[in-house]
Amino acid sequence: MKKAILHGCYDFNKDAVLVEMILDDTPQSIDWAGFVVPNAELDRMRWQCPYMEQYLSLEGTEKLCGTYDVPKKENMPTRVAFFLFKTEDEILSTPYGDFSIKNMTPMPERLANIIEFDEFD
């Protein structure tokens, strides 16, 4: 299994959590459909998935492309940031393993001016 590091789970606003990860994969190979927040009370088709995936430099100080784009270069590892709804659920299940999303910290200043956010529908 390819590996990943959960770099941070940040308290973005009253409704959203910003998750930052480093994935042992190329941007083009990431299977975003495999990222879910399991909830035993819901059908799997209703499990939460990432919102507004954004690709970052390895240092996490700049975006590599537009918010809805995928970088053209197939470099790895890939640093990403994405949003989830705040929830009582505690696990993010990914193709790279399961990660706790319950311990949120304040968002780092380095992300404040580069991360874009659209309100959830």
Predicted confidence at residue 1, as pLDDT, reads 75
17: Cα separation from own chain's centroid: 9
What does the mean pLDDT of the chain come to? 94
Is pLDDT above 70 for 28?
Answer: yes
Question: Which amino acid makes up residue 9?
Answer: C
Predicted confidence at residue 121, as pLDDT, reads 62
Q: Give the pLDDT confidence of 63-102 residue by residue, as tens digits.
A: 999 998 999 999 899 999 999 999 999 999 999 999 999 9
Predicted confidence at residue 52, as pLDDT, reads 96
pTM value?
A: 0.94
Q: Give the pLDDT confidence of 29-54 residue by residue, as tens digits.
A: 999 999 999 999 999 999 999 999 99
Unique residue bearing structure tokens 């959590």: 17
* CA dist., res. 74 & res. 84, Å (int): 26
Cα dist from 115 to 18, 39, 80, 84, 96, whole Å: 9, 27, 11, 14, 23
- Residue % of the chain over a pLDDT of 90: 90
